[in-house]
Amino acid sequence: MRFTVDEYAKTFKMSKEMIQNKLRTKRLNYIIEGGVTYIIVPRSSLDETKRQEIAQSSKPSSSVPAPQKTTVGMIIALYQKENQQLKLKIKELENKIDRLINDKEQMLIAERERIEEIYTAKDEQLKNLLEVINTKLLLSQGNSVHDVDITATPPVTPSLPNGIIELKRYLKFIGMGSDERKSVKRRFELAYGSDIRIIQKEGEFYVDLSKYDYTDFLS
């Protein structure tokens, strides 16, 4: 007779650990077929009571219930169950789609705000540039600007042609900071005498916007 490990444990009331230990120490005869271990027990080694017990347990049970017949009601119940599961899956997919749509909308809103910020900054730069151009146009039409000190009598200086403006006043007007104005003045000092655009009077530099372009000095 041969038994699987589970059958041997049940028949001889022995734990699987003990059986495995006996197998390792070769105290039980066994064979392996198809990856399954079978323990070999000679029938002659069993007493009559154990033989009858094994024979009784090996008889097919007469109480096995007959297969249940499939009815229309069972099929309908099965379809209803599957239908309910499909509804749940559809609901989950709809929720996922809603989340994806919401995430996409948030991304589009953030991107739109970023683009608006970029264009706002560009508009501000363009506005400043237009103010500078407008100033140059006004000066080129013959408007002259002179520094006037209302607290003291202005010194008598030779008059300058129309369209000429003092460099430091012009730089302040176009919004240059102190460090930038100093850098531009140094460029004028280096170019004085070699560039006809550089005008100096009474130690001060002047620009003639009606005749010349000074963009290279300002950049």
pTM beyond 0.85: no
Amino acid occupying residue 55: A
Give phi and psi for 149, each to the nearest 5. Answer: -100, 105
149 to each of 38, 84, 152, 155, how far by Cα in Å?
A: 119, 91, 6, 10
Residue 74's pLDDT is what?
A: 81
Instruction: With beta carbons less than 8 A apart as the criterion, state whether 105 and 176 touch.
Output: no
Residue 6's pLDDT is what?
A: 92
User: Between β-strands 29-33 and 199-201, what pairing exists: parallel, antiparallel or unpaired?
Assistant: unpaired
Q: What is the mean pLDDT of each run of 10 residues along the chain (219 residues)?
A: 88 89 89 89 78 71 58 84 89 90 88 86 78 72 47 41 80 90 93 92 91 88
Residue 158's pLDDT is what?
A: 39
How many CB atoms within 10 Å of residue 66? 5
Name the burial class of residue 39, with classes exposed (0-12), middle (13-18) and buried (19+) by CB atoms within 10 angstroms of its CB: buried
Residue 191's pLDDT is what?
A: 92
Q: Where are the domains of the chain?
A: 2-58, 72-141, 164-218
